[in-house]
Amino acid sequence: MIHKYRLGGYSICLDVHSGAVHVLDDAAYEILDCFDDNGPLPDELPERVTEKLSGRFDEGEIEETWEALLELQGHGLLYSPDDYEQFADMMTRAPIKSMCINISHDCNLRCEYCFAAKGDFGQGRCLMPLETAKKAIDFIIANSGTRRNLEVDFFGGEPLMNFDVVKQTVEYARSIEKQYNKNFRFTITTNGLLLDDDKIDYINREMNNAVLSLDGRKEVNDRMRVTPNGKGCYDVIVPKYQKLVAGRGDKDYYIRGTFTKYNLDFTNDILHFRELGFDQLSIEPVVSDPKLDYSIKDEDLPRVFEEYERLADTIIASRRRGDRYNFFHFMIDLNQGPCAIKRLRGCGCGNEYVAVTPQGDIYPCHQFVGMEQFRMGNLNDGTFDTEMKLDFAKANVYSKENCRDCWAKFYCSGGCNANNYQYEGDIRRSHKTSCALEKKRLECAIMIKAALAEDGDAKECDGDDCIEPCSILK
């Protein structure tokens, strides 16, 4: 299967099952247009194709292009077959390697769009006791098999509201990781309000990743991200984030925002992040009930697509000026990405990843928290539903009807099971609006690579996302 499209002046063809990305000229693009995306190309150039294209290209050129396409096909780089189902048994039950610890079901903001029912997940405001947090660490160690790298995300609610327990949990995990041959990697997700110098130092020392919530321009942020008495938080959090990021060193962080119907011009928010000095950026569409005013509805998609294109162009122009920053959702590694097995396995929720609540309840992931039918067990009574785990394990790309034949499957991994459940009623039925957005982002991401490759990439080469053939490596 191939997926081909034109964007930003480039004609691009992704060969889905090999992962090859080709930039085509018009002749090659139009020849492929004469065939079904599932291929394969026949041995001989059909006359109907020559006839159709003869007004536009001379015969020699058509012939030459045809030969080049056949050569790619021969090398398994065009219409390469889907032979991944043989790996399906690697996509079943797996050790748990990631955990979201909802260390606080309380929050000091009341963001309009909060999926967590304004911080408490509809379960009443409370903080996780240290004992429960320790049990969470014990649980992931016990269920992680031989996996060495374990990720723990302190999440909420607002984790800084229970920061002493965060610190003691980290200390506890560090005190036992060696004896179990584990390596913990911690992330904290925060709204920034309670950051102070001590917390910033601690986070920069101990947390491998810090996810900092901010939606963009002041008026955009303050419309949605407000305190209980309705005040925007921009002025309080921005200087704190700047301080934190300045001391981050080589550790990861993300500024993460949400865009809604109210800021469909979100490229301006990305540019605003740049003005503030941030360079690891993420803005995602709000996923919400379409009845809500701020929600992104299907009729907004053309406008959102246009904005993604504008953002892609903006990023290319910045790179050409030597200004480097990452927009998370356009980051794609065409050479060294994760293996195909991982890509097909899906997000891993309920199988490799679970979330735990202050009450010790275990859910497939943070988005399922509070849905009683998805409660998998409890840390305090030692219960854990391995049948449900298996069911989630099987929710991979090949068991999702729409994903199996989707060109984006190796980059999307089958989408978000929680969104699927909330909006389509089944974890295996993909949420169409999310699919449309995901595909558009991918098209933009690949187009950016094509544009940078065309620049000759000599000055772009930094080893970590280099494009072959690269003039420096050659």
Q: For another protein, which stretch binds (CB under 8 A), given 46-54, 222-230, 305-313, 337-345?
A: 337-345
Give the count of alpha carbons within 13 A of 465, CB side only: 16
253-to-63, 101, 322, 352 alpha-carbon distances in Å: 51, 18, 21, 23
State in angstroms the smallest separation of the CB of 399 from another protein.
17
Shortest Cβ 21–ligand SF4 spacing (Å): 17
Chosen from another protein, ligand SF4, none, partner binding at 80 (C-beta under 5 to 8 Å by type): another protein
Asked if 375 is part of the footprint of ligand SF4 (rule: CB under 6 A), the reply reads no
Given 240, 366, 400, 428, the residue binding another protein (CB under 8 A) = 366
User: Which residue in the set 69, 152, 237, 416 belongs to the binding site for ligand SF4 (CB under 6 A)?
Assistant: 416
**Site for another protein (CB under 8 A): which residue of 21, 161, 245, 315?**
21
How many residues sit close enough to ligand SF4 to count as binding (CB under 6 A)?
Answer: 21
CB 360 within 8 A of CB 380: yes
The site map against ligand SF4 for 213-252 (x = CB under 6 A) is ----------------------------------------
The encoded tokens of residue 275 equal: 């003005």
Does the protein bind another protein through residue 431 (CB under 8 A)? no
Q: Give the C-alpha separation, 348 to 413, whole Å.
A: 10
Least distance from C-beta 96 to another protein, angstroms? 9
With CB under 6 A as the contact rule, the residue among 367, 396, 422, 433 that binds ligand SF4 is 367
Separation in Å, CA 234 to CA 220, 230, 271: 9, 12, 16
Q: Least distance (Å) from ligand SF4 to the CB of residue 57?
A: 34
419 touches another protein by CB under 8 A? yes
Angle at 304 between CA 301 and CA 305, to 5 degrees: 85
Q: How many residues does the chain have?
A: 474
Chain positions 157 to 196 lying near another protein, rule: CB under 8 A, are: 187, 189
CA distance 138 to 265: 45
Tokens standing for residue 218: 């002041």
If one asks whether residue 347 binds ligand SF4 (CB under 6 A), the answer comes out as: yes
Residue numbers 40-59 binding another protein by CB under 8 A: none
Which residues in 212-251 contact another protein (CB under 8 A)?
A: none
Q: Do the beta carbons of residue 349 and residue 365 sit within 8 Å? A: yes
User: Using the rule CB under 8 A, is 149 a contact of another protein?
Assistant: yes
Contacts to another protein from residues 272-311, by CB under 8 A: 282, 284-287
DSSP string over 380-412: TTTEE-HHHHHHHHT-SGGGSHHHHT-TTHHHH
Three-state secondary-structure class, residue 50: helix
Phi–psi pair at 154, nearest 5 degrees: -85, 120
Three-state DSSP at 422 gives helix
Between helix 163-177 and helix 130-142 the angle, nearest 10°, is 30
- Residue from 364, 334, 255 nearest 19 by CA: 334
Q: Which residue from 147, 261, 310, 394 is in contact with another protein, where contact means CB under 8 A?
A: 147
Q: What is the per-residue binding string for ligand SF4 in 385-414, x denoting contact by CB under 6 A?
A: ---------------x-xx--x-xx--x-x
Query: Smallest distance from the beta carbon of 193 to ligand SF4, in angstroms?
Result: 24
Contacts for 249 with CB less than 8 Å, ≥ 6 apart: 204
Q: Which residues bind ligand SF4 (CB under 6 A)?
A: 347, 349, 353, 365, 367, 400, 402-403, 406, 408-409, 412, 414-418, 430, 435, 438-439
